[in-house]
């Protein structure tokens, strides 16, 4: 195998080097450097939010958001089962009960029609997670939250620049969170952001990310927080990336449309929806789901593609089926058949911003060859 195409290659050929050099030359590499505040200000402006709080990663953003909303043991949070474990981990650590929603078979987002039947007197929050390039249908969720007095945490980790009915994702939650992992449209290597319009929530988030230090009595602590600050070096990368977000979104859309053109003649697979009546897909990743009539799962296809030099990644494994959580009684008889199916049948192909057109052709050719041989 002479060449391997990884599932993600970031694009970092803008002003990243210039801004990183400034960090080194000035000695400002910690979280107290000027790029952190610049990145927060410009990101808040992009989302149309009053506050943006930079943190070390997207998982930390969720931990801090849950703490800032004062969700506690015994409370319930409604969330999709088809999402990353980061959404679930802080709930389990705090004794908060997760209540699962299955996936929509076309968009792979949470099926919002299931939410209202899951609301109880203990429901404190709905965690919305935008999946793979299309947003959750937000209007019904917002109506339910208002009707029942429930908070919304909006996980927009995969949704940089994505819009719902023309309004940018990350602007819908009481608190919204982002990730800047290398496979995201904006990357800081590792990193995350919390955004909100609520002054009190923003103040809590800033305190929690910084060990709950106090201004006047720094080393006397009234609460426990985390050390999950973003460094000036990370923020420098993020600022350079943010300057090119429109360009990056345009490239992702081109890649998604090109893959669909190349793969649309293959039988027995489901390709991503190009649009819904409320959004256009920005194809954060390009997912493929094998039809149920095929006698093999995604792992078989992925292994065959690997032998042909093509990197892939599986879809999320449903939270209610995670082995680490199976010991808990709260998952007794949990069933989300759509999420269970697409987890087994779904995978995504190289989709990074650094991917070249000729590499897309090679990926599509390999997918066709593998599926025909199997």
Tens-place pLDDT, residues 78-104: 999 999 999 999 999 999 999 999 999
Percent of the chain with pLDDT strictly greater than 70:
99
Q: pLDDT value at position 331? A: 74
Pairing of strands 167-168, 269-270: unpaired
Can you give the three-state secondary structure of 232-281, one letter per residue? HHHHHHHHHHHCCHHHHHHHHHHHHHHHHHHHCCCCCEECCCCECCCCEC
Q: pLDDT value at position 294? A: 95
Mean pLDDT of the chain: 96
Tens-place pLDDT, residues 113-157: 999 999 999 999 999 999 999 999 999 999 999 999 999 999 999
Q: pLDDT value at position 300? A: 98
Tens-place pLDDT, residues 61-80: 999 999 999 999 999 999 99
Q: pLDDT value at position 2? A: 62
Among 288, 290, 283, which Cα is nearest to 341's? Answer: 290
Q: pLDDT value at position 15? A: 97
Residues of the chain within CATH 3.90.1150.10 domain(s) are 245-373
The Cα–Cα gap between 164 and 131 comes to 13
* Whether residue 240 has pLDDT greater than 80: yes
Among 69, 153, 74, 47, which Cα is nearest to 110's? Answer: 153
Tens-place pLDDT, residues 252-296: 999 999 999 999 999 999 999 999 999 999 999 999 999 999 999
Judge whether 277 and 138 are in contact, CB under 8 Å: no
**Which CATH architecture describes the domain 16-242?**
3-Layer(aba) Sandwich (3.40)
The Cα–Cα gap between 164 and 310 comes to 33
DSSP H or E segment with residue 177 = strand 175-179
Q: pLDDT value at position 328? A: 73
The token pair at 18 is 């210039």
Third-level CATH fold of 245-373: 3.90.1150
User: CA dist 230 to 20, 57, 63, 184, 191, Å?
Assistant: 14, 8, 15, 17, 6
Q: pLDDT value at position 1? A: 47
Percent of the chain with pLDDT strictly greater than 90:
94
Residue 164: pLDDT band by 50, 70, 90 thresholds? very high
The Cα–Cα gap between 145 and 138 comes to 10
Tens-place pLDDT, residues 304-359: 999 999 999 999 999 999 998 887 777 767 889 999 999 999 999 999 999 999 99
Q: Greater confidence, 325 or 250? A: 250
The Cα–Cα gap between 297 and 314 comes to 11
Residues of the chain within CATH 3.40.640.10 domain(s) are 16-242
Tens-place pLDDT, residues 344-356: 999 999 999 999 9
Judge whether 209 and 55 are in contact, CB under 8 Å: yes
User: CA dist 319 to 102, 152, 344, 351, Å?
Assistant: 10, 19, 13, 24
Tens-place pLDDT, residues 227-236: 999 999 999 9
């Amino acid at each position: 195998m002479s060449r391997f195409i990884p599932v993600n290659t970031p694009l970092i050929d803008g002003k990243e080097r210039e801004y990183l050099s400034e960090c080194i030359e000035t000695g400002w590499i910690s979280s107290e450097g000027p790029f952190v505040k610049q990145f927060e200000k410009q990101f808040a402006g992009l989302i149309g939010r009053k506050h943006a709080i930079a943190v070390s990663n997207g998982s930390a953003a969720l931990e801090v958001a849950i703490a800032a909303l004062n969700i506690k043991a015994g409370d319930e949070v409604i969330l999709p089962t088809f999402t990353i474990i980061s959404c679930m981990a802080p709930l389990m650590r705090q004794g908060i009960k997760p209540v699962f929603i299955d996936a929509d078979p076309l968009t792979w987002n949470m099926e919002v029609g299931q939410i209202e039947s899951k609301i109880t007197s203990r429901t404190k929050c709905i965690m919305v997670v935008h999946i793979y390039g299309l947003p959750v249908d937000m209007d019904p969720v917002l109506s339910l939250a208002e009707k029942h007095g429930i908070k919304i945490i909006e996980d927009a980790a995969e949704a940089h620049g994505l819009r719902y009915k023309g309004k940018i994702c990350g602007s819908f939650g009481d608190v919204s969170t982002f990730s800047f992992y290398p496979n995201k449209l904006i990357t800081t290597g590792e990193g995350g952001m919390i955004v909100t319009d609520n002054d009190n929530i923003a103040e809590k988030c800033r305190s929690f990310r910084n060990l709950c230090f106090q201004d006047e009595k720094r080393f006397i602590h009234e609460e426990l927080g985390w050390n999950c600050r973003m460094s000036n070096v990370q923020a420098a990368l993020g600022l350079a990336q943010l300057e090119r977000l429109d360009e990056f979104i345009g490239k992702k859309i081109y890649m998604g449309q090109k893959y669909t053109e190349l793969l649309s003649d293959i039988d027995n697979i489901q390709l991503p929806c190009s649009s819904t009546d409320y959004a256009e897909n920005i194809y954060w990743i390009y997912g493929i789901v094998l039809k149920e009539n095929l006698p093999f799962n995604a792992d078989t296809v992925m292994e065959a593609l690997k032998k042909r030099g093509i990197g892939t990644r599986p879809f999320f494994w449903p939270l209610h089926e995670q082995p680490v959580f199976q010991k808990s009684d709260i998952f007794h008889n949990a069933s989300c058949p759509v999420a269970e199916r697409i987890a087994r049948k779904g995978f995504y192909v190289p989709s990074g911003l650094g991917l070249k057109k000729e590499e897309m052709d090679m990926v599509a050719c390999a997918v066709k060859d593998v599926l025909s041989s199997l």
